Amino acid sequence: MTPDLSCGIGAPRRDEVIASSQIDARPERIWDLAPDLFGILDDTGIFQHTNPAWRTVLGWTPEEVESRRFTDLLHPDDMEASIAAFEEMQGGKPALHFENRFRHKDGSYVWLSWNAIPDGGIYYCTARNIETDKQNKSSLDTSREQAQLREQFIAVLGHDLRNPLAALRAGVRMLEREELSDRGTVIIAESEKSIKRMFDMIDDLMDFARSRLGSGLSLDIEESADLGGTLADVLQEIAVAHPEARFQPDIAIDNPVRCDKGRISQLTSNLLANAVTHGDANAPVTLRARGGGDYLEICVGNAGEPIPDAVRKGLFEPFVREEARPSQEGLGLGLFISSEIAKAHGGTLCVKSDTDGTYFTFSMGQAQG
């Protein structure tokens, strides 16, 4: 037999439930249970009433706080500003999101954010513990300062390495004029290549530092740059440096282009070298260029495995490579600097990578016609 639970003995009536819930929902319970500090000050700045959260946050019981002036618990460095804020409240102005430090019972200080409202010589205050927020902000500021110091160090290092490296290059070139054995000739030629790579890395470091430290990449804009021959020369330099690679050029720039010819050469060289390094050795590296006036489009492609999505997301960030290879040369700055060159020209550098190949395309302006 199923019992009747709707009106059985001992079951509370609806009016009893309502009465009970009303008792549990007394407004003053907010004062007792709130995690934030509540306080009532008189016109002299003395706490008249405080809630239990003072003990949770600062270790003080209400009895230990009440009858004390708020300045008794203030950090000395926050005294002047806090007194000024209280004087403004005495003039009728509320204090909103005012931050200062109050002394914990153990002697330490805790950052608090106050909201206080005046009401006829009485001041109702609430305060939230923001110590964790302050620590996180301090940690973030420290990280930013460290990053800036690292970038400044890179800039100084790159600048100061040029002089001894230039002296080394001069010495090697002097030896080239001496009578050398076949082995000596090979060593000198390889030394020249190594020195050039070091100069290239220093140039990359300097460009990185300029970009990160705010001055940005410098441009020397030519109103009518002849890019057709310049890009052919860049391709020839890469071909000499990588005799194992095959290239398929399609350069059709018949009209002058408004750009920094040197920077565009640097961008193209970076993209070609990157394509040789990461492409399929059995397939040619392609270079397609079109342009004239304010318009320019350069596309460099290679065959091989697609770039993984996880790598592609950060491909234009500094010190990131398409893949990690123990013998890989360079600092992983080539694509970052190329992207900065594109931005400096008001253009874009994007990548498309799938089973058909990987293509980096720089474009600026609009093609006419």
pLDDT of 299-324, one tens digit each? 999 998 898 888 888 888 876 655 54
User: What pLDDT does residue 237 have?
Assistant: 86
Sheet holding 109-119, edge to edge: 47-50, 37-41, 122-129, 109-119, 95-103
- Token pair 């799938």 is found at 354
**Fold held by 150-212:** Helix Hairpins (1.10.287)
Mean pLDDT by 10-residue block, N- to C-terminus, for the chain (369 residues)? Answer: 43 48 62 88 92 92 89 93 93 91 93 91 92 78 66 63 75 84 86 79 72 68 89 90 91 91 91 90 94 94 89 79 50 81 93 93 85
Distant-in-sequence, close-in-space partners of 205: CB < 8 Å, separation ≥ 6: 154, 155, 157, 158, 331, 333
Q: Could you tell me how far CA 61 lies from the centroid of its own chain?
A: 44
Quote the tokens at residue 324: 């990690």
What SS3 class is residue 117? strand
User: What pLDDT does residue 302 have?
Assistant: 95
User: What pLDDT does residue 218 have?
Assistant: 74
Amino acid at 58: L
Distant-in-sequence, close-in-space partners of 68: CB < 8 Å, separation ≥ 6: 46, 47
Which string of DSSP letters, residue by residue, matches 323-348?
S--TT--S-S-HHHHHHHHHHHTT-E
Query: 84 vs 66, 75, 132, CA distance in Å?
Result: 22, 15, 26
Quote the tokens at residue 275: 């394509």
Whole-model pTM: value is 0.51
> Running DSSP on this structure, what letter comes out for residue 109?
E
Amino acid at 3: P
How far is it, in rounded angstroms, from Cα 365 to Cα 346?
A: 8
User: Tens digit of pLDDT for each residue in 16-36?
Assistant: 544 544 555 566 777 888 889
Quote the tokens at residue 139: 């940690």
Domain 222-364 superfamily per CATH: Histidine kinase-like ATPase, C-terminal domain (3.30.565.10)
User: What pLDDT does residue 330 have?
Assistant: 52
Give the residue from 138, 139, 149, 143 showing the smallest Cα distance to 212: 149
Where in the chain are the domains?
A: 14-129, 150-212, 222-364
> Running DSSP on this structure, what letter comes out for residue 293?
B
**Fold held by 14-129:** Beta-Lactamase (3.30.450)
Distant-in-sequence, close-in-space partners of 336: CB < 8 Å, separation ≥ 6: 208, 211, 316, 317, 318, 319, 320
- Token pair 């397939």 is found at 283
How far is it, in rounded angstroms, from Cα 313 to Cα 239?
A: 29
